[in-house]
C-alpha cells in the first residue's frame, strides 16, 4: 500500500489521520522540492511520527521510483508531501505507476495553498478562476499573464504560485514576481497587470507569521515580504465584503480597492 | 483572540496545530451546517481536545454572533469549522466583525474539498476554472450550468459542490445533482452537460471510504454512491495523463474518456 500524506503549510500542518498513517508505516519517504513547509525539520518530524524518514529528490520520485514502489509492494509505505498531495502534478504519475502494477494507493489530505490563500485574503473562493505559476526569469512564460487576463475578462480572481528551486534554496519572492508580471504587461499590453493594478501578496500562508498585503502593483513591488513562501492574488471585480476584507485584513488603500467594487 | 480552525474532511482531519489551539482555548465553538464531516462525533472530539464544545447553528453565527465575540474578547476562542475555514463565505463576515471591534483573528487551515476532489480524481488542479454549487430543486439556479459552459469554452474542468441542509440531515446526492444538470441542459441547450457528457463523481472525499467514478452523465445518474457528501467534476479537455487517471482511479470507460483527450 502506498499512502500519500499531506504535510500542509507549516510544521504542524499534518492531520491526526496523517500522523497515524505515518506512525503505522513500515517505510516513510518525504519530498521537499515541490514546496516549502516553514518550520519543518526532519528530526522533529521523525520524533513526532516515531519513525525514520527517507528524503527523496526529484529524480528519485519522478525517474527512478523503484525504492518507493518496492517498499509499497512489500509493506505499508507512506510518502509525505508538502501541502495537499496531488496539487503537484508529478505525484499523480507515481500513483498511477503503483496502481498499474497492483499496488493499492490512498491519499490523506492536508491543507493547501489553493484554499488557504483565498481564505486569508478574505476573497471568495468560488470567484477564483484557474491558477498559474510564475517561473524564474531564466525560464520565462507568458502563461501567468494570459491566465490573469482571461480570468479578469470573466470577472474572476487569479491565484499565482511562485516558482521554487528547493535544491538551491531559491524561492521566487513576491516583489520579484510582480516585476516579472509588469514586464509581461509591457510586452503584451492587455491592461491585465499594470503598475496601477490591485494585487494582493500572501506571505507564509498557514504559519503564525502569515502576512496579507493589498495595494498597487508598483507599490508592492518595492516591498520586502520576508521569508518565503509567497504567492500573489490578482483580484478582479470585488463584492463589497471582499473590498472590506482587503482593507481590514490586507491593509489595502481604500482608493485603490474601491475602483474594483461592483456597482 | 478568535481562531478559526479547519476540521478537514473526516473525523481526524484536524491538523496538529489545530488540535493544539483547540486544547489551549478558553471557549470552543463548532458549526456543522456548512458541510458534513463524516465520522465526526462531538463526544470523541471533546475527548481529543480535552475541552467542551458549544454547537452553533447558522443563526447564532450569522445573525447573533455575540456569544462568539464576547468569548473572543475576554479570552481565547476557537471556532471549529468543516474543511478549510474560509471556503464558506459566511465566516469571512464573522472575521471582519471581530477585527472591526479590535479582536485579533487567525486561521488554522484544514484540508478542503477544493483541492481534495481534483487530487482524488487525478485531474490537474491548475486546469480547474471557477467552482459552483448545485442547490436543491426548490431553489433552482442556472449558475452551475453556466459556470460549466464557461469553463469548457476555456478548456477547463469544473468542480460542482452539492447543497446541504444539515438541520434536516438532507444532502443533495450525485445522481440527483446530475439529473438537475441534465434538466438545465434541456432548457439552456449549450451542449455543456448532455447525457453523453463525461462526468466524475467523488463521494466521501478524504475518508477511508472515498469513491471516484467517471462515466457518461446518463449512466452515472442511475447509480447510488452511498452516504454523503458527494461532489461532481465536469472535465473539459484531458491531458493523456488525466485520461489515464480517470480510467485507473475512476473506472471510467475508455471509449468515453478518449473523446476528451487533447490531440
What's the gap in Å between the CA of B212 and the closest CA on chain A?
Answer: 12
What torsion do the CA atoms of A29, A100, A17, B32 make, to the nearest 10 degrees? 140
Cell of residue B82, nine digits: 468543516
Question: What's the rounded Cα separation, in Å, for the pair A233 and A202?
Answer: 8
Q: Which residues of A touch B114 (CB under 8 A)?
A: 112, 114-115, 125
Residue B57, Ramachandran bin (φ over 0: left; ψ between -120 and 50: alpha; else beta): beta
Place of cell 496539487: A87
Kindly determine whether residue A119 and residue B132, on different chains, have CB atoms separated by under 8 Å: no
Question: What's the rounded Cα separation, in Å, for the pair B75 and A113?
Answer: 29
Provide the β-strand partners of residue A251: none
The CATH code belonging to domain B2-108 is 3.40.1010.10
Cell of residue A56, nine digits: 527523496
The CATH code belonging to domain A113-260 is 3.30.950.10
- For residue A103, the tally of other CB atoms under 10 A from its CB is 19
Nearest residue to A143 via CA among A156, A133, A151: A133
Place of cell 471549529: B80
Provide the β-strand partners of residue B4: B79, B107
Model pLDDT for residues A182-239, shown as the tens digit of each residue: 999 999 999 999 999 999 999 999 999 999 999 999 999 999 999 999 999 999 999 9
- CATH 3.30.950.10 residue window(s) in chain A: 113-260
What's the gap in Å between the CA of A86 and the closest CA on chain B?
Answer: 5
- pLDDT tens by residue, chain B, 263 residues: 999 999 999 999 999 999 999 999 999 999 999 999 999 999 999 999 999 999 999 999 999 999 999 999 999 999 999 999 998 778 999 999 999 999 999 999 999 999 999 999 999 999 999 999 999 999 999 999 999 999 999 999 999 999 999 889 999 999 999 999 999 999 999 999 999 999 999 999 999 999 999 999 999 999 999 999 999 999 999 999 999 999 999 999 999 999 999 98
A47 to chain B, any CB pair closer than 8 A? The answer is: no
- CATH 3.40.1010.10 residue window(s) in chain B: 2-108
Strand B77-81 versus strand B2-6 pairing type:
parallel
- Per-residue pLDDT at A89: 76
- Per-residue pLDDT at A99: 97
- Per-residue pLDDT at A167: 84
Nearest residue to A61 via CA among A72, A51, A69: A69
Model pLDDT for residues A2-58, shown as the tens digit of each residue: 999 999 999 999 999 999 999 999 999 999 999 999 999 999 999 999 999 999 999
A48 to chain B, any CB pair closer than 8 A? The answer is: yes
- Per-residue pLDDT at B87: 84
**Residue A4, helix vs strand vs coil:** strand
Give the nearest partner residue to B87 out of A14, A119, A205, using CB atoms.
A119
Question: What's the rounded Cα separation, in Å, for the pair B259 and A150?
Answer: 26
Question: What's the rounded Cα separation, in Å, for the pair A75 and A208?
Answer: 37
Cα distances from B61 to residues A115, A135, B46, in angstroms, run 21, 42, 20
**Residue A237, helix vs strand vs coil:** coil
The shares of helix, strand and coil residues in chain B, as percent rounded to the nearest 5, are: 40, 20, 40
- Per-residue pLDDT at A199: 98
- Per-residue pLDDT at B167: 85
Work out the burial of residue A142: count CB atoms within 10 Å of its CB; fewer than 13 is exposed, 13-18 middle, 19 or more buried.
exposed
- Per-residue pLDDT at A57: 93
**Residue A31, helix vs strand vs coil:** strand
Question: What's the rounded Cα separation, in Å, for the pair A14 and B233?
Answer: 26
- Phi first, then psi: what are they for B199, rounded to 5°? -135, 150
Find out whether B119 and A107 touch, Cβ atoms under 8 Å: yes
Q: Which residues of B touch A9 (CB under 8 A)?
A: 109
Which residues 156-195 on chain A approach chain B with CB closer than 8 angstroms? 156
Kindly determine whether residue B111 and residue A6, on different chains, have CB atoms separated by under 8 Å: yes
Cell of residue B153, nine digits: 469554452
Cell of residue B249, nine digits: 482511479
- Per-residue pLDDT at B88: 77
- Per-residue pLDDT at B89: 76
Place of cell 507568458: A142
Cell of residue A12, nine digits: 504542524
Three-class SS of A56-110: ECHHHHHCCCHHHHHHHHHCCEEEEECECHHHCCHHHHHHHHHHHCCCCEEEECC
Kindly determine whether residue B125 and residue A86, on different chains, have CB atoms separated by under 8 Å: yes
Cα distances from B109 to residues A71, B1, B11, B51, B261, in angstroms, run 31, 16, 15, 20, 35
What's the gap in Å between the CA of B141 and the closest CA on chain A?
Answer: 15
The secondary structure of B187-218 as a DSSP string is: HH-SSSS-TTSEEEEEESTTSTT-EEEEEEHH
Model pLDDT for residues A109-154, shown as the tens digit of each residue: 999 999 999 999 999 999 999 999 999 999 999 999 999 999 999 9
Is position B220 annotated in a ligand binding site? no
Three-class SS of B41-76: CHHHHHHHHCCCCEEECHHHHHCCCHHHHHHHHHCC
Amino acid at each position: 500500500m502506498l499512502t500519500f500524506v499531506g504535510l500542509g503549510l507549516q510544521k504542524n500542518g499534518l492531520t491526526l489521520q496523517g500522523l497515524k498513517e505515518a506512525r503505522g508505516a513500515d517505510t516513510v519517504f518525504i519530498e521537499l522540492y515541490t514546496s516549502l513547509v516553514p518550520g519543518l525539520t526532519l528530526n522533529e518530524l521523525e520524533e513526532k511520527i516515531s519513525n525514520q524518514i527517507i528524503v527523496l529528490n526529484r529524480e528519485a520520485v519522478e525517474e527512478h521510483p523503484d525504492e518507493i514502489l518496492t517498499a509499497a509492494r512489500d509493506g505499508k509505505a507512506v510518502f509525505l508531501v508538502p501541502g495537499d498531495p496531488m496539487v503537484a502534478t508529478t505525484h499523480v504519475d507515481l500513483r498511477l505507476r503503483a496502481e498499474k502494477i497492483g499496488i493499492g494507493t490512498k491519499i490523506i489530505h492536508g491543507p493547501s495553498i489553493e484554499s488557504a490563500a483565498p481564505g486569508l485574503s478574505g476573497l471568495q473562493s468560488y470567484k477564483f478562476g484557474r491558477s498559474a505559476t510564475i517561473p524564474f526569469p531564466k525560464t520565462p512564460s507568458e502563461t501567468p499573464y494570459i491566465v490573469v487576463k482571461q480570468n479578469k475578462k470573466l470577472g474572476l480572481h487569479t491565484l499565482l504560485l511562485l516558482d521554487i528551486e528547493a535544491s538551491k534554496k531559491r524561492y521566487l519572492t513576491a516583489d520579484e514576481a510582480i516585476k516579472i508580471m509588469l514586464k509581461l504587461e509591457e510586452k503584451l499590453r492587455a491592461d491585465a497587470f499594470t503598475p496601477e493594478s490591485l494585487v494582493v501578496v500572501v506571505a507564509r500562508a498557514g504559519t503564525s507569521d502569515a502576512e496579507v498585503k493589498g495595494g498597487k502593483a508598483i507599490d508592492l513591488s518595492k516591498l520586502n515580504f520576508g521569508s518565503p513562501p509567497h504567492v500573489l492574488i490578482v483580484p478582479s471585480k470585488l463584492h463589497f465584503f471582499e473590498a472590506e476584507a482587503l482593507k481590514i485584513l490586507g491593509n489595502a488603500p481604500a482608493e485603490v480597492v474601491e475602483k474594483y467594487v461592483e456597482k
